[in-house]
Amino acid sequence: MFTKAVPVETEEDILMDHDYDGIKELDNALPPWWKYGFYITIGVAFIYLLNFHVFGIGLNPTEEYSAEMESARIKKEKYEASNKDRIDEKNVPMAAADGIQAGKILFEANCVACHLSDGGGSVGPNLTDDYWLHKGSLNDIYNTIKVGYPDKGMQSWSGQFTPKQISYLSSYIKTLRGTKPAAPKAQQGEFYVDEVVATDSASVIKPDSGKVAKPDTAAIIKK
Ligand code: HEC
C-alpha cells in the first residue's frame, strides 16, 4: 500500500537500458500513497475552481473583508442606537459649569500652543471673535475638533478625546466669545453667530441651526 518497489532480487527486470557514467535507472512504480495524494489535489483544485470562480459561492478575500465590515457596521449601529448618552456633531449639548471647567483644563493642556490660553490665536485662529473658518455653532466647533483640518495644521482630536471631552472643549470655546484676549489675531473666515430669530410676539430661538446670520440682521442676541 505504501510502496510498490520491486524487491532487490528482481530489480534486473525493471532496469532501464541507459547508463550514464555508471548511473542507471530503475523503472519503479510511483508509491501509491503519493500518487493518490496527487489525485486528491486535482479533485480539490476542481472543486475550488467551481466554488470560487464558476458558481461564485465562496467569498474571495475582498468580498470577505467587505462582509465583515458590513457586519461590524450593523453591530456598531445597534450599539450606538442603544446608547442614549451618545454625542456626535449633530447633537452637542452645552456643558454645565463643571463640564466647561473640564474643557478649560483640556484646552490649556492641548490647544494653547496654537490658540493661546486666552483663545486669541497665533498659529490657529482667534476663537473669541465672531469670525469662523468652519462656522461657529457648538456642533460646528465639535466637528472641527473631531475631524480637524490636518492639511491646514489643525489635527483631528478624536483619537485623543472621547465625544464627551470634545463636547466640553467645544462648550469651553463657546464661553470665550466676546472675551478680550491680550493680542487677538485678526479675524479669519466668515462672520457667524448662532441664529436667533425674533418674531413679533415671542422670540423663537433656534440654537445651532447652522445658518450664518448677516451682521445687520435685526435682533442678533448673544446665545
Ligand atoms: C498645532 C497647532 C494647533 C493645535 C495644537 C490646535 N489647533 Fe485648532 N487650529 C489650528 C489651525 C492652524 C486652525 C485653522 C485651520 C484651518 O485653517 O482650516 C485651527 C482651527 C481650529 C478651530 C476652528 C476655528 C474656526 O475659525 O473655524 C477650532 C474650534 C480649534 N482649532 C480648536 C482647537 C482645540 C479645541 C484644540 C485642542 C484640543 C486645538 N484647536 C489645537 C491649529 C491648532
pLDDT at site 48: 94
CA of residue 102 to ligand 1 center, whole Å: 18
Q: Which atom of ligand 1 is found nearest the CA of 141? A: 29
CA of residue 43 to ligand 1 center, whole Å: 62
pLDDT at site 122: 94
pLDDT at site 213: 46
> With contact defined as beta carbons under 8 Å apart, do 1 and 33 qualify?
yes
Q: Going by CA atoms, what residue is nearest to atom 40 of ligand 1?
A: 111
pLDDT at site 101: 96
Q: How far apart are CA 37 and CA 193, in angstroms?
A: 77
Residues of the chain with pLDDT under 70: 1, 84, 196-223
CA of residue 205 to ligand 1 center, whole Å: 28
What pLDDT digit, counting tens, does each position of 158-180 carry? Answer: 999 999 999 999 999 999 999 99
CA neighbor of 191 nearest in space, from 127, 125, 131, 126: 131
Using only C-alpha atoms, what is the Rg of the chain?
36
Cell of 144: 472641527
> With contact defined as beta carbons under 8 Å apart, do 157 and 142 qualify?
no
CA of residue 154 to ligand 1 center, whole Å: 5
Q: Which atom of ligand 1 is found nearest the CA of 170? A: 35
φ and ψ of 53, to 5 deg: -110, -25
pLDDT at site 223: 43
Q: How far apart are CA 86 and CA 92, in angstroms?
A: 9
223: exposed, middle or buried (Cβ count in 10 Å: 0-12, 13-18, 19+) = middle
pLDDT at site 87: 87
Residue of 115, 126, 156, 165 to mutate, ligand 1, most atoms within 8 A of C-beta? 115
